[in-house]
Structure 1
Amino acid sequence: MNENVNRILVIRAGQLGDTVCASSIIEPLRHRYGDSVTIDWVAKAGIGRVFSRDPRIHKVFELGSRRAPLLFNKGKREVVVESWRNPYDLIVNLELASIFNVMVRLTKAKIKIGMPYRLFEEPPETHAVENLHLIYESFLDQNSMSLAEPKLIGTPAEEVRERYALANHYIALVPSNSHHHLPPEKNYRNWPIEHWKQLLARLSQQDRQVVIVGGKSELGFFEYLKPYPPNVLDLVGKTDFADLIGVLAAADAVVSTDTGPAHIAGAVNTPVFMLIGPTNPKRTAPYKTPHNVVQILCANLPCSPCYHTERFKQCPKNQCMYDILPEQVVEAIALGGD
């Protein structure tokens, strides 16, 4: 491959967890082509703000719609027009769906990796990051591949501590997930409300601050958890992505269900304790590296995982989440994880 690569476009316009996993391409690209390489990113609208304080990313193109064809998609047209003004040296398309094929074909670049020129199959039992490695290995050397781990850069710790009155030591809780719009009894990825309340009560009695985080769209969900016990700091709806990265990076530990901020915690090397039931941790848990702690807390029921199956649709109650007890979480945090 031609090594004269100065401008790169990465395409991964998924949800927050997908984008965090795809951040594993950034350091390998910088190792292969130099720290001064310009990297632009095509992201889902709103999600691209996860790179707002990241000096490694030059520009983010945000797509209001992934599926709308190029003719009716302003974001996709902006990518093409930008490339005709200033062509890319390399495009790395990390999307496997054909909905980006026309955009990739029309975008000017010397080298194009991925769809529509080559389809990389995803083994179903393999972690999302390891599936991305299949694409990386098609053009990156082994030294670059050794850096292929999710990594994010957000607001520095000292800034978020001052802005939000964070203590020197605290535990961050992420009770919600992308199904927050469903009532608690229908949100099968959710840990029971009473379990969260018990955990909050237990942790608030310790000599550490407890910080609760979540998005503005999730405010209704958190009403079920109130009133909060003493020593709890409520940051729900108060942080942008850059500050959320900083808050999770400065925490002693993060407790979360299967949701995007859990992946952020893993990417900033904060110990993360993930409560998981219907989904498959082999694929969706934060990516385990030599630099982080990822402990999966699950009930290991024979019917799990069941997400995206008929068994999931017919499940009368997410017993797999109910059977994870608050005292197990407290004990796991005390032991520091695996």
Structure 2
Amino acid sequence: MQQYLESLLEKIRALRNRSGMTPGKVIPKLIFWNIKYLLKYRKPRSTFKDNTVHIAFIPQAGIGDFAFAAKYVYCLKKTFGNNITIDIVVDNHFEAAECFWKGKKHINRLFNAHKKQNTYDCEIALTRFPVIRYIDKKRVDQVGSERLKQYLKTVSRFQLQNPLLYQSDYLGRCYSLLHGRTRENQADIENRLSMTQVTDFHIPLPENDEETFGKFGIKENAYLVIQTGSGKHFRNENNIRHWPVEYYEELIEKIRKINPSIPIIQIGEAYHKTVKNTDINLLGKTSFREMLTILKGARLLISQEGGLPILRHFISRKPSCVIFGPTDKNFMGFDENSNLNTNNCEGGCEWIFDNWYKTCIKTGKNSGCTKHTLPEKVIEFTRDTIEFE
């Protein structure tokens, strides 16, 4: 029953986050989903016979969430070592998943969900907190270490006792901050994986930097990157997380007065709003791997809060200037960055209600607090990096 309810809640959350959903559209989708679930439901039994606990790990949600999941998987393997093997099973963002996990020593295999053939000893999904979708308790009891069995029991108990934390990302954030964990280590229930102490984790990139730099005519550490859009889950022109495009354009004019020779590149998806006075517009023109290389090689990233500052943290630890609005900089920010907000709302209002990214909770208007962070403030915090030659 618990597995079904968790899966149903995941489906409801996914539908809730899609734009254009109405009761007339949601109800048939849920009916169809329930029929599919009923037809495929069975009590799983592991197909493995060796002395290792085989885990299928399913990362979920957006690219930034995948990056956080990469650290969780790393710490999971680091904690339990040879007692487990981990296969990564994805049904979206496969190009990103390849960059994060393909060929990594702590990962056994990576493949698309529709190609999954084995029934695993344990299946763990992750957006914010880990969800054990199923577990073959007999197999795990036979071959799992006591420490691993205790960890899986802890996660299962946490799921059962704290359903609201899985249903509300706002409550999940509050809970995590109360326990001293930011978004980076939010998945570490009861600190069993010691994720906060793991500071050496990074996502290594293939050695093809020069090829990418040559393709786009840039040199490492000799350009700035800006990015204007939110993730695909929030593909909305009226997203109040967005820093206004005219602010980016004004910022670029100010940067050119400080350092007229440094190129400014815009990266992101083709549907992101274009900043007209950049030197190079790469919206929709790079592969994911090329985008990561450009992001890593930049002297500075200037962006509203979103996936790219998260990726840059994990691939380089180089500084970014990140403009926060409804999201909490104390939860989502990284120490190497300039994390800017206007202090209009302490703690952020992300996920207090469903339309948090469309409507200001204070004013009820589609006007975000990011607009109160002016270009002058960005210059104040980034001048030294911009001036450096």
What is the distance in 2 between the residues matched to 1:95 and 1:321? 26
What is the distance in 1 between the residues matched to 2:377 and 2:188? 34
Q: Which has the higher helix share?
A: 2
Range 150-159 or range 188-197, more displaced? 150-159
Question: 1:133–1:148: 8 Å Cα contact kept in structure 2?
Answer: no
2:268 corresponds, among 195, 202, 214, to 214
Q: Following TM superposition, by how much is the alpha carbon of 1:15 offset from its aligned partner in structure 2, in angstroms?
A: 1.0
What is the distance in 1 between the residues matched to 2:129 and 2:206? 33
Change beyond 3 A, Cα 1:161–1:7? farther
2:158 corresponds, among 110, 119, 134, to 119
Change beyond 3 A, Cα 1:97–1:8? closer
What is the distance in 1 between the residues matched to 2:78 and 2:86? 13
Q: Following TM superposition, by how much is the alpha carbon of 1:20 offset from its aligned partner in structure 2, in angstroms?
A: 1.0
Spell out the pairing of 1:52-63 with structure 2 (5 A cutoff).
52-53=98-99, 54=101, 55-56=103-104, 57-62=107-112
The residue number in structure 1 matching 2:372 is 323
AA in 2 matched with 1:200: I
Change beyond 3 A, Cα 1:97–1:294? closer
Task: Describe the SS at the equivalent of 2:188.
Answer: helix
Moved over 6 A (4+): 106-109
- Residue-by-residue CA offset, 1:39-90 (whole Å, 9 max, x unaligned): 42233512x3223244214533445xxxxxxxxxxx3xx43x233xxx56x6
2:225 corresponds, among 172, 186, 208, to 172
2:205 corresponds, among 131, 138, 154, to 154
Q: Following TM superposition, by how much is the alpha carbon of 1:317 offset from its aligned partner in structure 2, in angstroms?
A: 4.6
Spell out the pairing of 1:251-266 with structure 2 (5 A cutoff).
251-266=298-313
Question: 2:224–2:299: 8 Å Cα contact kept in structure 1?
Answer: yes
- Residue-by-residue CA offset, 1:134-172 (whole Å, 9 max, x unaligned): 26x43x4x5x86326662233433232122222231111
Question: 2:129–2:186: 8 Å Cα contact kept in structure 1?
Answer: no
What is the distance in 2 between the residues matched to 1:214 and 1:304? 28
Structure ID, larger Rg? 2
Question: 2:243–2:323: 8 Å Cα contact kept in structure 1?
Answer: yes
The residue number in structure 2 matching 1:82 is 118
The residue number in structure 2 matching 1:68 is none
Task: Describe the SS at the equivalent of 1:312.
Answer: coil
2:250 corresponds, among 183, 198, 210, to 198
TM-score by length of 2: 0.64
Unaligned runs of 5+ in 1: 64-74
The residue number in structure 2 matching 1:94 is 126
AA in 2 matched with 1:133: D
Aligned residues: 295
Tell me if 1:333 matches 2:350: no
Question: 2:241–2:305: 8 Å Cα contact kept in structure 1?
Answer: yes
Change beyond 3 A, Cα 1:133–1:154? same
The residue number in structure 1 matching 2:134 is 104
TM-score by length of 1: 0.73
Change beyond 3 A, Cα 1:33–1:158? farther
What is the distance in 2 between the residues matched to 1:96 and 1:189? 20
What is the distance in 1 between the residues matched to 2:91 and 2:235? 20
What is the distance in 2 between the residues matched to 1:105 and 1:18? 24
Question: 2:304–2:323: 8 Å Cα contact kept in structure 1?
Answer: yes
Task: Describe the SS at the equivalent of 2:351.
Answer: coil
Change beyond 3 A, Cα 1:215–1:275? same
Q: Following TM superposition, by how much is the alpha carbon of 1:303 offset from its aligned partner in structure 2, in angstroms?
A: 7.0
Question: 1:28–1:148: 8 Å Cα contact kept in structure 2?
Answer: no
The residue number in structure 2 matching 1:71 is none
Q: Following TM superposition, by how much is the alpha carbon of 1:325 offset from its aligned partner in structure 2, in angstroms?
A: 1.1
Change beyond 3 A, Cα 1:51–1:93? closer
The residue number in structure 1 matching 2:46 is none
Question: 1:22–1:150: 8 Å Cα contact kept in structure 2?
Answer: no
What is the distance in 2 between the residues matched to 1:62 and 1:149? 28
Q: Identity over aligned residues, as a percent?
A: 18
Range 105-114 or range 166-175, more displaced? 105-114
Tell me if 1:9 matches 2:56: yes
Q: Following TM superposition, by how much is the alpha carbon of 1:276 offset from its aligned partner in structure 2, in angstroms?
A: 0.8
Q: What is the root-mean-square deviation of aligned Cα atoms in Å?
A: 3.6
AA in 2 matched with 1:119: F
Q: Following TM superposition, by how much is the alpha carbon of 1:116 offset from its aligned partner in structure 2, in angstroms?
A: 7.7
The residue number in structure 1 matching 2:323 is 275
Q: Following TM superposition, by how much is the alpha carbon of 1:97 offset from its aligned partner in structure 2, in angstroms?
A: 8.2
Task: Describe the SS at the equivalent of 1:163.
Answer: helix
Q: Following TM superposition, by how much is the alpha carbon of 1:260 offset from its aligned partner in structure 2, in angstroms?
A: 0.8
Q: Following TM superposition, by how much is the alpha carbon of 1:114 offset from its aligned partner in structure 2, in angstroms?
A: 7.3
Q: Following TM superposition, by how much is the alpha carbon of 1:240 offset from its aligned partner in structure 2, in angstroms?
A: 2.1
Spell out the pairing of 1:128-143 with structure 2 (5 A cutoff).
128-134=183-189, 137-138=191-192, 140=193
What is the distance in 2 between the residues matched to 1:307 and 1:264? 20
Question: 1:174–1:255: 8 Å Cα contact kept in structure 2?
Answer: yes
Change beyond 3 A, Cα 1:29–1:211? same
